[in-house]
Structure 1
């Protein structure tokens, strides 16, 4: 059968259009491929709880305090990712509490502030993993409070904001070498309760939380070398047109690995389970799907090596004792 030149040209055009359509479909599919796979780890060995604290020392995570739905707690545990195992350590010696803060600095861990069910707290304790022993240190020098934020750098910890009957925005540095607290420049922008904080590449970041029952959208950067704050673009459409970013929230969980921060869950009136990656080098957010453990607020989060971990927390009255590991290099769909 002889095909005319005109028909041949039409056939070629149709074939090219077909290839273009297939390429377009493949591109759309690629857009749906996300980095990051969640894998369940060994369950937390203590009772299920929310609003616990955690910190990391020498590649191991330490977790304690919190609220099980009826009682505040003082038990304290170590998680070793190398063996995927939990070991109970010396109980936290202060009053049982929830909504405290924890940080690590200079090879030791610190827990303080919080709420005991009737009163706000300001006492602070140092944990030495070498001796498995606690020592009470100088009280937090500002007002007793709960729902504060904390940051860890190599040789110092920072604590601020929270609620003492009023919303707060003050900021304090603890130096283990001198065992002293020093007031820093307070947070720029709003006061906040139950905001979230993380450190990446030597700087700290703060966002979220409530101020007078309003969810906060600002994003702040703290440089411990200069003790100065910088205001980044807020998490709003006005300041981030054509960008993706997380909605404002409280009780969110964060961790940092590979010079990148991750934000998981929280609540904005309803429990959330979304997962976001923040790149401070470009001040951009990327959504990484949803947390495999489900809706979650008041959870713990920490990064060790190449992996991030999220566990415990609650959804309504349901409290959890699970632990999940995020491998950010695995492709999932």
Structure 2
């Protein structure tokens, strides 16, 4: 199962939201747009060097990292770093493994690349990047192979939500504690979600949309670590998978839908 219309959103330390790469239905994209919640406008910024979909984004100590991805021919281990002040992308050390549909998050002093597909099979392997050493290092692998998974950070732990194995969407969720270098399964999603968007806010992990093996989803569920339970909390206006989710510290009245077609609608919750 393949999702071509990937775009990914990020809320980095600058207070802006970024959409990077993806596929517009005709070709792969390397461009980037920035959303300013104060002006409620999108602005074009510098493009990546490699056009691709299925990338992951993470922000660590200021810069934004665009990790992995794929096009119609290859999965990439390429990693690019974007400097917000200079509006410039530059290459950093590549990952040890090509990863399309990879999940990523910044945790502590590292950027993690979780799962993905290397062009042959979904991966359970995980590696992390040290920006001071410009080096990727393998860490303990997950219990489940998965690509198109959502990744978030909460209370010093890394949460990996849903995704696909080689064929089927997953409802399983794993949590990694870097202090113990240990993965644990936690409560499963209420429905399988491949290509799920994930964000953490108000002490909970939110899973948005995805594909359950039969249909695209618009439902949203949240995980409360105190209860170790997922529960449905609402829905977005459009069913979608492979969309990015970002937490933006603005009042919802400041952000309005972009309603010029289903390919670029933005939902706020």
**SS in structure 2 opposite 1:325?**
coil
What aligned pairs does 1:13-92 form with structure 2 within 5 A after superposition? 50-57=5-12, 58-92=14-48
What aligned pairs does 1:267-306 form with structure 2 within 5 A after superposition? 267-268=211-212, 269-291=214-236, 293-305=237-249
After TM superposition, the score normalised by the length of structure 1 is 0.72
Radius of gyration: which is bigger? 1
1:218 CA displacement = 2.0
1:86-126 C-alpha deviation (Å, 9 max, x unpaired): 121111112x1111111111111001211122111111100
Aligned to 1:213: 167
Shift >3 Å, 4+ stretches: 306-309
Aligned to 2:268: 325
1:65-89 C-alpha deviation (Å, 9 max, x unpaired): 0011110001111111122121211
8 A contact 1:126–1:135 mirrored in 2: yes
8 A contact 1:50–1:319 mirrored in 2: no
Q: 2:101 pairs with 137, 141, 147, which one?
A: 147
Aligned to 1:257: 201
8 A contact 1:251–1:267 mirrored in 2: yes
What runs of 5+ residues in structure 1 fail to find an aligned partner? 1-48, 236-244, 313-317, 327-333
Confirm whether residue 99 of structure 1 aligns to residue 42 of structure 2: no
**For residues 238 and 10 of structure 2, what CA distance do their matches in structure 1 show?**
23
**SS in structure 2 opposite 1:323?**
coil
- The structure-2 alpha-carbon separation of the partners of 1:200 and 1:85, relative to structure 1 and needing over 3 Å to count, comes to same
**SS in structure 2 opposite 1:303?**
coil
1:167-219 C-alpha deviation (Å, 9 max, x unpaired): 2110001111222111100012x211212221122211112122232332322
- The structure-2 alpha-carbon separation of the partners of 1:246 and 1:307, relative to structure 1 and needing over 3 Å to count, comes to farther
What runs of 5+ residues in structure 2 fail to find an aligned partner? none
Confirm whether residue 172 of structure 1 aligns to residue 115 of structure 2: no
**For residues 325 and 70 of structure 1, what CA distance do their matches in structure 2 show?**
27
- Name the structure, 1 or 2, with higher relative contact order (CA <8 Å, separation 6+): 1
Confirm whether residue 162 of structure 1 aligns to residue 106 of structure 2: no
**For residues 286 and 179 of structure 1, what CA distance do their matches in structure 2 show?**
40
**For residues 288 and 179 of structure 1, what CA distance do their matches in structure 2 show?**
40
**SS in structure 1 opposite 2:54?**
coil
**For residues 18 and 108 of structure 2, what CA distance do their matches in structure 1 show?**
17
**For residues 284 and 322 of structure 1, what CA distance do their matches in structure 2 show?**
30
Which stretch of the first structure deviates more once superposed, 251-260 or 128-137?
A: 251-260
After TM superposition, the score normalised by the length of structure 2 is 0.89
More strand, by proportion: 1
Q: CA RMSD in A?
A: 2.2
